[in-house]
Structure 1
Amino acid sequence: MTATTRPTPRPVVLLRPVPGDSAVHRLWAGTKLIVVFGISVLLTFYPGWAPIGAVALLVFAAARIARIPRGALPSVPRWLWVLLVIGGATAAMAGGDPAGLGGLLNFLRITALSIVLLGLGAMVSWTTNVADIAPAVATLGRPLRLLRIPVDDWAVALALALRAFPMLIDEFRVLYAARRLRPRPRPRTRRERRRRWAREAIDLITAAITVTLRRADEMGDAITARGGVGQISAYPARAGLADAVALTLVAVVCGAALALELTVLTTTG
């Protein structure tokens, strides 16, 4: 008799580019930030089916061009599917046009919008080096320097946060795994169980703060040894012909979707 093994869930991979050399990987980081900002504004004011479908098509095409493997996608936990079913059933009870399915259609549209935005952010994370984000932010925010806004300092703070985020997630996972391996006495009463949870929470928070401070000190020493924080936002990267083509293509697709949403679909509705 063979024992069935449960497949290991794939974790969420953030701020770590997928190895590869494609047209999407070679795009300037500022171009990707402009695309994300423009699409976010579009979906904020016009969250219709046509713009959502157009953005989903762009994300899918970019994933195919960048050759993103299926293993990069995280596993969807079962409890999330249960929540979606409960949310859909609850929204369907609201009724509304057409044919009493207005609430369900609105729920599906909001769910699709959330998935599309998550996919858009994931594409930027999978195809962009974290070190390229700060110079791009500094370049895009250059006009704000006329208003005496510290754009370079903001870019450096953003770069340090993006670099520290995956590292701290790994540290917290190690701490949590080590905590679970420690032998623990089984509490006999509910009061002892609450006290044990409180002690474990305090121990984990203390260890996390200690690890964070240690990592921050090591990162500060490494930055000082490499010439200071000014080098983080001084990487010479600019937009090229491929970036202009990508921006034009995105603008055309989003513009066509917006025109379709405001004319055909609005008239039909």
Structure 2
Amino acid sequence: MTTASTPPTNRQPKPVVLLRPVPGRTVIHEMWAGTKLIVVFGLGVFLTFYPGWVPIGAVGLMVAVAIWLARIPRGTLPTVPKWLWLLLILGGVTAAFAGGSPDIALGSMQFGLGGLLNFLRITVLSIVLLALGAMVSWTTNVSEFAPAVATLGRPLRRLRVPIEDWAVALALALRAFPMLIDEFRVLYAARKLRPRPVLTSRRAKRKRWSAEMVDLLAAAITVALRRGDEMGDAIAARGGTGQISAAPSTPKTRDWVTLAIVVVVSAIALVLELTILGTSAAS
């Protein structure tokens, strides 16, 4: 008795999904958007001045806890392309030739791991920062950014800085970004479905490529203008741009607790980096 074998299914790569919150009502989702912006900015500056293993590990731990609290599913992560893994391997091998301490001895030969460790540290730092930004994107509605920016920039009004206009411009850019990405994907898919003529000479191929690029750019500009016109009509029907940043937006108790935890963890990591663990790692 034979059974029919099912053909293997090719898994489609998962695209990068940004500026679209994952559904949920967790403590991370309900946190004030201004708190998330302050945390991202503060931790980014912290890692810029102290990019050691201890601060990176502390920030990575906080990001992992936030992912667990927000209940972000594994399917949200995009598919890493193969060429990126090849670039990472090539970069690691190239950085390993730089040498440096610490050294390891293999028989009569010594190899320095300083360059490879620096490359790994920079790679992990990039991953942590990307995860930190993705957490804000996956747990915050786009409409919450403009009121939060207007509230955070309230002291700048004394300097006659148009903070409300900046908040509205940021909100409109964040709203339009996902829509334009979807439109560009549709345009690119439609371009791939068009029949291509058989061209033999390189000159004809270059002319065909330039003509397709002009057509694609013209279509993209037309789509962007159409989307902008539709968004303008929708904003005008809802009371104008002033309503975008006029929503009440203030921090609550959980926001102050979150900021306190971030400051305490960062301070502990900085002390450990500058005293015990940082000194032992350098030696």
Q: TM-score normalised by the shorter chain: which range applies?
A: over 0.9
The question of 1:246 aligning with 2:226 is answered no
> Of 201, 206, 209, which residue of structure 1 is paired with 2:218?
206
CA RMSD of aligned residues (A): 0.9
Whole-angstrom distance in 2 between the partners of 1:167 and 1:251 = 36
State the partner residue of 2:55. 51
Give the paired residue count.
269
State the partner residue of 2:76. 72
Whole-angstrom distance in 2 between the partners of 1:146 and 1:15 = 31
Whole-angstrom distance in 2 between the partners of 1:47 and 1:266 = 11
Q: How does 1:63-102 map to 2 (within 5 A)?
A: 63-99=67-103, 100-102=112-114
Q: Deviation at 1:4?
A: 2.6
Q: Deviation at 1:267?
A: 2.2
**1:121-167 deviation digits (Å, cap 9, x = unpaired):** 00000000000000000000000111111100000000000000000
Runs of 4+ in 1 over 6 A off after TM superposition: none
Whole-angstrom distance in 2 between the partners of 1:217 and 1:183 = 32
Whole-angstrom distance in 2 between the partners of 1:191 and 1:5 = 40
TM-score (norm 1): 0.98
Whole-angstrom distance in 2 between the partners of 1:256 and 1:201 = 53
Whole-angstrom distance in 2 between the partners of 1:174 and 1:8 = 17
Q: Which amino acid aligns with 1:18?
A: V
TM-score (norm 2): 0.93
Q: What percentage of residue pairs aligned between the two structures are identical?
A: 70
The question of 1:256 aligning with 2:260 is answered no
State the partner residue of 1:129. 141
State the partner residue of 2:196. 184
Q: How does 1:115-126 map to 2 (within 5 A)?
A: 115-126=127-138
Q: Which runs of 5+ in 1 are unaligned?
A: none
Whole-angstrom distance in 1 between the partners of 2:278 and 2:39 = 26
SS of 2:200's partner is coil
> Of 17, 24, 27, which residue of structure 1 is paired with 2:21?
17
Q: Deviation at 1:36?
A: 0.4
Whole-angstrom distance in 2 between the partners of 1:262 and 1:248 = 21
Q: Which runs of 5+ in 2 are unaligned?
A: 104-111
**1:22-63 deviation digits (Å, cap 9, x = unpaired):** 000000000000100110110010000011001111111101
Which protein has the larger Cα radius of gyration, Structure 1 or Structure 2? 2
